[in-house]
Amino acid sequence: MFMHGRSISAAALVVVVAIAGCQPAGSADATAGGPRLLSAADTIAYGRTVAIHHGCGDCHGGGDNPSAPMWLVGFRAGTDDTLFWPAVIPTPGGKFKTWPRNLTPDNETGLGRFTERQIYNALRYGLRPGETPDAVITSSTPGEGNFPANPKYLAPPMPWPAFRHMPETDLWAIAAYLKRGVAPQTNRVQPSEGPPDFWAGLYGMIAGPMPAPAFPTAREVALPR
């Protein structure tokens, strides 16, 4: 599980540009379990492309190679993965160790336990799928619109503060790929350390306010063409 640089193949880029050109970003109906712009098979294939070029495998296993034996199985104890993990995260409350989890749809140790909506909520809001109900969330304010009153967030370096800016279509497609496009593998990853409640506060220092502010912020401009 090496930390590969991120590469976007020309073919992948063409696919993304082509699909992005015909999708209204943020228009998906979250209550219906995802957008309906593509067939189920195309959604999974598109989710694969998005997962690869967002570097999911760089941390979760396999790098940028979906044919790797360790594709998305998460941290493997007793292997070379120990050269890179755990990540040790310094916080005002001390140092905490974190490990990337098993993203294959194994029912016991992977994402098979969760719905596509729980995976979507993890990527859109950073909510830990194991501690967040399977619910349609309509607010980013704790306690409102099904957003948990005491949210449990995913720990660094899981880059959900960046992923939350992705279009609805992309997030749902990743969820579809992880549940229906990846072979299940059994690999139990130990839980990350640290009280999950404060990760959002820590992320806020580097990623900005929760929820993400709309474009343009004070440091951006929206120039006419």
Phi-psi region of 148 (alpha: psi -120 to 50; beta: other; left: phi over 0): beta
Task: Select from 63-71, 118-126, 132-140, 211-219 the region that touches ligand HEC (CB under 6 A).
Answer: 118-126
Structure tokens at 79: 């292997």
Find the binder of ligand HEC among 48, 76, 117, 128 (CB under 6 A): 128
Q: In the complex with ligand HEC, which residue's Cβ is closer, 98 or 217?
A: 98
Shortest Å distance, C-beta 115 to ligand HEC: 12
Applying CB under 6 A, does 34 fall inside the site for ligand HEC? no
Applying CB under 6 A, does 48 fall inside the site for ligand HEC? no
Distance CA 123, CA 186 (A): 22
Q: In the complex with ligand HEC, which residue's Cβ is closer, 54 or 117?
A: 54
Burial class for 216, CB neighbours closer than 10 Å (0-12, 13-18, 19+) = exposed
Shortest Å distance, C-beta 152 to ligand HEC: 8
Task: Select from 10-18, 30-38, 49-57, 140-148 the region that touches ligand HEC (CB under 6 A).
Answer: 49-57
Q: Is the dihedral of CA 155, 158, 162, 163 positive or negative?
A: negative
Structure tokens at 145: 């619109």
Residues 6+ apart with CB under 8 A from 17: none
Residues 6+ apart with CB under 8 A from 79: 1
> Which of 196, 194, 169 is closest to 23 using CA atoms?
169
Applying CB under 6 A, does 173 fall inside the site for ligand HEC? no
User: Within a 13 Å sphere around the CA of 179, how many CA atoms are in the beta-carbon half?
Assistant: 19
Find the binder of ligand HEC among 35, 62, 100, 105 (CB under 6 A): 100
Applying CB under 6 A, does 171 fall inside the site for ligand HEC? no
- For ligand HEC, what does the binding mask look like between residues 50 and 69, x meaning CB under 6 A? -x--xxx-xxx---------
Interacting residues toward ligand HEC by CB under 6 A: 51, 54-56, 58-60, 98, 100-101, 103, 119, 122-123, 128-130, 154-155, 157-159, 163, 174, 192
